[in-house]
Amino acid sequence: MSVDKEVEEALKQGKMVIIRGACESKVKLEYPKDKVVVITRK
Amino acid sequence: MPSTGAVKIPAPLELAWLAGEAEFLHDTAFYFLPPGLDVTLRWGPEEDNKVFVIFALTFGEPRDYATGERVVTDEMGFWHRGMGMKLHWDPLVPSILNITYPHVTPATKENPFEIRLVNRTEMMIYMDVSVWYFELTRERYEALQQFIRGYMNLFRLFGRYRTLEETEKALRRLIK
């Protein structure tokens, strides 16, 4: 599994990482910012 | 093995979709889940006037980030709850992951779908998950609920009366 630097950095910090695709629908995702990094791909 | 089989759409939602009252989409994400994880996510529409009706979840294979090996464990999983779905635990085991998970749960801004991810293993686990849903306006969702209740009530009448004639008389009394 290869990951980019942004993901690698978050993983080193022991954070959960969520990688999502950008979506036309307006989704509200609530999560604890100190434990989770959300990356949105466009 | 990841989820297998077709994603089935519940009939009333399919009718609403065909009638142009609902829009289909799915939210697919990749998750990296570190050891010791205990995190709660809430997922739903950002807008007050929208309802997301989830009807399925599908899972990719969970794997150990360090080795790439497939993971089967009851030490990692998720608690989840939503409207019409009680809180329960889903571990990363084949009876959960190898099916297209039937998951009929509406989510609104004030009552989102809630998921608590827990990883009690020593592994960094990664996996992908897709949430399949329809987006409706709140008005259209309430109209769909009325339609379903009306349909059920009609068939309750058939259950209450022995013949079509008796049912017809009851209906005529109702609409007078």
CB A32 within 8 A of CB B44: no
CB B118 within 8 A of CB B38: yes
A17–B27 C-beta distance less than 8 A: no
What is the residue range of A24's domain?
5-41
Higher pLDDT, B120 or B102: B120
pLDDT (average), residues B90-108: 90
B42–A28 C-beta distance less than 8 A: yes
Site from B23, B30, B65, B125 to mutate, A interface, most A CB atoms within 10 angstroms: B30
Cα separation of B19 and B125, whole Å? 41
- Which chain A residue's Cα is nearest to B108? A28
Shortest distance between the Cα of B96 and any Cα of chain A, in A, equals 21
Q: Tally the domains of chain A.
A: 1
For residue B65, pLDDT beyond 80: yes
Give all domains of chain B, ordered by start, each with its CATH number.
Answer: 11-137 (2.60.120.340)
pLDDT reported for residue B60: 93
- Encode pLDDT of A3-41 as tens digits: 788 889 999 999 999 999 888 889 999 999 999 999 998
pLDDT reported for residue A42: 84
Cα separation of B108 and B140, whole Å? 13
Place of tokens 């609403």: B16
